[in-house]
Structure 1
């Protein structure tokens, strides 16, 4: 179920404007942060469309230069192309860019297996859209609310995503990483906490780190990232300093444990966010540890 909320009037109006639109007239949302991948989920979507058609219409808005800009439905469009369809059902709504950005982000955050870099860009886009949006009294007010200061805006992003404000801020910091480092975070080779520390390094310092990671085949721990950030703030971070830090052996307590999402997602309801899954796993481990302690005392 989508996280964004429309008023009843808007729902009726949007249902009344469903159109069959040629795929060639549908264009991607500018700077769309979510990748469209030819994975197993896409293959299942293609098979579903071949058998039943597109069950959920996409959402789009008219473009100034003609055609339509997809707000929600990039994966469905790609699946339609693979399935050999020429058109797809689309809800057309003439909404402003800020509202469209918020709807686009909220509709896609319900997907599984979202990469950290995708979530980072999405949170940033939504935050900036909320900040740009003035006080609204129209149909989008129930979803977006009124313009507020940065603290309230980021709290709104966090609440609607089911994340803590701190976690949203951490994700947004990932946008300051060089693409190569973002890719390492997506692959799970660099944890979130060291990635946030690295994001405070200057671009040229990050490039020095990338070269060292390639040469040493090692990624920084949290404490190593902290030291590099501190040296950067002092103006003392150079090639030798980065190499010296990265050549140190990591302590096991600094390692970040990564659990593949595809292996644990099946144990949780689809509505659970990564943060809620983590909290549940911690509680279960605490219960397991207490049981072990009781068994050992018998």
Structure 2
């Protein structure tokens, strides 16, 4: 059973061992099959959204293989258990049509329940950086933990926790960009080092529009902190940057088209060689004339 306890994660395992002891003996190392009808959700669960597609995939796996990792619950009544960790597995088990679910039964007060739920949430692999930061902040604010205590709980260096918490100081638009993976963690760390939110937002928009690398963002962030006005600098760059025009060969071709169709044609081409030829006309008679010229070329 030692291997199963380790699977819960270092921080979660530590919290479970520190939970208050029950007045009556509880077989903490035993796995019990509990009717799903007796399992209730954790009111302290920090996770509120579950991917329907991911739940369906897990449900299909459970139908085929069963529950690989038992959930963890606490008994709150004669026939009622509250989830400490494993709500996603419980939901998928319902979808799979199971009647019971394997569970570790633990004892924990409300404070311990919140800690357990938050730590279990942090240890999920699919969390984005902002979700992790929010969970860290809740552990500090609501569970009265210091960053050093939290470091021990979750098995992370204190500097790592500090960097995550700093993400919550970024503007909402940037935090949303992090959650939706519009920008990488490296971009976010560079933006954190900028004091002014307006500059942060401007650089964030540049990252999105121009696909700036982390290195480039770090350079721009450093320039901003040194007093460089990158907004004005970017504006001047746009003014002085000339749009690529047609080469001499294409200009000659456009002249030949103008003469052939006896109208002012438009020839457009980008750097990749893609483009279009536009032959304007002012009336149906002129359109018929142009079509006649094209038919003549085709017949030749």
User: Could you tell me the TM-score, scaled by structure 1's length?
Assistant: 0.53
**Alpha-carbon deviations, 1:158-200, whole Å to 9, x = none?**
3443432111100112223345423432455434354245457
Q: How far apart are the structure 1 equivalents of 2:35 and 2:218?
A: 50
Aligned CA-pair RMSD: 4.6
Q: How far apart are the structure 2 equivalents of 1:58 and 1:88?
A: 8
1:212–1:246 Cα contact (<8 Å) kept:
no
Q: How far apart are the structure 2 equivalents of 1:18 and 1:228?
A: 59
How far apart are residue 79 of structure 1 and its match?
1.6
CA separation of 1:206 and 1:159: change in aligned 2, threshold 3 A: farther
Q: How far apart are the structure 1 equivalents of 2:181 and 2:165?
A: 17
Q: How far apart are the structure 1 equivalents of 2:233 and 2:32?
A: 58
How far apart are residue 121 of structure 1 and its match?
2.0
Unaligned runs of 5+ in 1: 133-152, 250-298
* 1:80 and 2:93 matched: yes
* 1:181 and 2:159 matched: no
**Alpha-carbon deviations, 1:222-264, whole Å to 9, x = none?**
2434555787xxxx9xxxx674477799xxxxxxxxxxxxxxx
Matched position secondary structure for 1:70:
strand
* 1:27 and 2:53 matched: no
CA separation of 1:85 and 1:97: change in aligned 2, threshold 3 A: same
How far apart are residue 206 of structure 1 and its match?
8.0
**1:171 match:** 164
**1:96 match:** 109
CA separation of 1:215 and 1:79: change in aligned 2, threshold 3 A: closer
Q: How far apart are the structure 1 equivalents of 2:91 and 2:219?
A: 43
**2:133 match:** 120
1:59–1:90 Cα contact (<8 Å) kept:
yes
Larger Rg: 2
* 1:222 and 2:222 matched: no
Q: How far apart are the structure 1 equivalents of 2:75 and 2:198?
A: 43
How far apart are residue 68 of structure 1 and its match?
5.9
**1:190 match:** 183
1:58–1:73 Cα contact (<8 Å) kept:
yes
1:58–1:90 Cα contact (<8 Å) kept:
yes
**1:158 match:** 151
Q: How far apart are the structure 2 equivalents of 1:230 and 1:86?
A: 64
Unaligned runs of 5+ in 2: 1-6, 238-300
Q: Quick check: 43-52 or 55-64, which moved more? A: 55-64
User: Could you tell me the TM-score, scaled by structure 2's length?
Assistant: 0.53
Corresponding residue pairs, total: 219
**1:140 match:** none
Matched position secondary structure for 2:144:
helix
